[in-house]
Amino acid sequence: MSGSVTSGSTTRSRSTRSSATSGTAIARKAVLYAVLAALAAVFSIPMLWLVSTSLKAQGQVFAYPPVWIPNPVRWANYLEAMDRAPLLVWLANTAMITILAMTGTLLSSSLVAFGFARLRFPGRRLLFYLLLSTMMLPDVVTLVPQFVLFRSLGWVDTFAPLVVPAFLGGGAFNVFLVRQFYLTIPRDFDEAARLDGASNLRIWWHIMLPLSRPVLVAVGIFSFVYHWNDFLLPLIYLQSEGNKTLALGLRAFISPTDASWNISMAASMFLVVPVLIVFFVAQRQFIRGVVMTGISGR
């Protein structure tokens, strides 16, 4: 009798502790989700203001208190933006430069990373550390020698200075990310392929690239955002109106005598929306790729 009573009280105490633990976990999750929702709301304010301003009349842009919902909604702002400047031409230029540069970055960074991760040669670690050390150099340090080189090649006012360098290394940070991911792939795949007579290039193309899709998506998004939003390099190398990119061309909407912020925000939507679409489509692969690069530290 006493044993059954003891067993029942033990069961009830365990149930009570389990309920308390479950309640604590739910409370923690609720607090976490509330904090995340609040942060998401704060970070979305600039984007919401951009969309709202792009649909306002000019008189509502600086109204106080702020007008969040335009009244009336002016879709004509987008048509006026396209009338003021060749936005579609600039959009096509930006897309061409970004796609070509992103392709070059993916190919070159993955190939260089394959050499550092899979091949054994004298000075491999020293070269890798030397490559990583280039990340400490500010980009502006190399602007003058690059401009002198590209001008001597006759590449000024062409897309070449914005595209060709991407095929010649891919950047130290991108190489680092891909190399770290390659280190997580078992070498058994390489050895099996070599037994079948595969060369290093074939192993890279047929084995490593298909297995490294998550990190390639991450590198691709980094490259896409960088080249899509790049302002400095197009400012230096692109001179004619027909060769401008969107980031460079948006300056045309703001002048000392005319600052139509509603039209400027409408034009800015052409620059912002493609980046949002790319990220939301590939966000799962992007997060997985970034996480997987930290698994191996060899």
Q: For 92-104, write each residue's pLDDT tens digit.
A: 999 999 999 999 9
Q: Are 72 and 57 in contact (CB under 8 A)?
A: yes
Query: Is 77 inside any structural domain?
Result: no
- What pLDDT was estimated at residue 16? 59
**Alpha helix (H) residue ranges in 155-212:** 160-163, 172-182, 188-195, 200-203, 209-211
Residues 131, 135, 138, 139, CA torsion sign: positive
Which residues fall within 8 angstroms of residue 285, CB to CB, at 6 or more apart?
213, 214, 217, 218
Local confidence band at 175 (pLDDT 50, 70, 90 cut-offs): very high
User: What is the average per-residue pLDDT within 277-292?
Assistant: 76
- What pLDDT was estimated at residue 290? 66
Which has more confidence, 8 or 134? 134
Which residues fall within 8 angstroms of residue 237, CB to CB, at 6 or more apart?
147, 150, 155, 156, 157, 158, 161, 162
- What pLDDT was estimated at residue 297? 47
Q: Are 271 and 253 in contact (CB under 8 A)?
A: no
Q: The tokens of 55 are what?
A: 């649909």
- What pLDDT was estimated at residue 15? 56
Burial track 260-271 (b if 16+ CB lie within 10 A, e otherwise): bbbbbbbbbbbb
Query: Is 266 inside any structural domain?
Result: no
Smallest CA-to-CA distance from 176 within 109, 226, 121 is with 109
Query: Is 43 inside any structural domain?
Result: no
User: What is the average per-residue pLDDT within 242-265?
Assistant: 84
Local confidence band at 220 (pLDDT 50, 70, 90 cut-offs): very high
Dump pLDDT digits (tens) for 26-85: 888 889 999 999 998 898 888 888 888 888 888 888 888 888 888 888 898 899 989 888
Domain that holds residue 225: 87-253
- What pLDDT was estimated at residue 5? 47
Residue where the block lists tokens 């193309």: 205
- What pLDDT was estimated at residue 19? 60
Query: Is 97 inside any structural domain?
Result: yes
- What pLDDT was estimated at residue 65? 84
Query: Is 127 inside any structural domain?
Result: yes
- What pLDDT was estimated at residue 282? 80
Query: Is 123 inside any structural domain?
Result: yes
- What pLDDT was estimated at residue 7? 52
Query: Is 145 inside any structural domain?
Result: yes
Dump pLDDT digits (tens) for 107-149: 999 999 999 999 888 988 999 999 999 888 888 888 999 999 9
- Structurally, how many domains does the chain consist of? 1
Model confidence at 20: pLDDT above 60: no
User: What is the average per-residue pLDDT within 2-16?
Assistant: 53
Query: Is 164 inside any structural domain?
Result: yes
In order of 187, 189, 198, 199, 204, the CA distances from 194 in angstroms are 11, 9, 5, 7, 12
CATH of the domain at 173: 1.10.3720.10
- What pLDDT was estimated at residue 93? 95
What backbone torsions phi and psi does residue 259 show, to the nearest 5 degrees? -130, 80
Model confidence at 3: pLDDT above 90: no
- What pLDDT was estimated at residue 70? 85
Mean pLDDT of the chain: 86
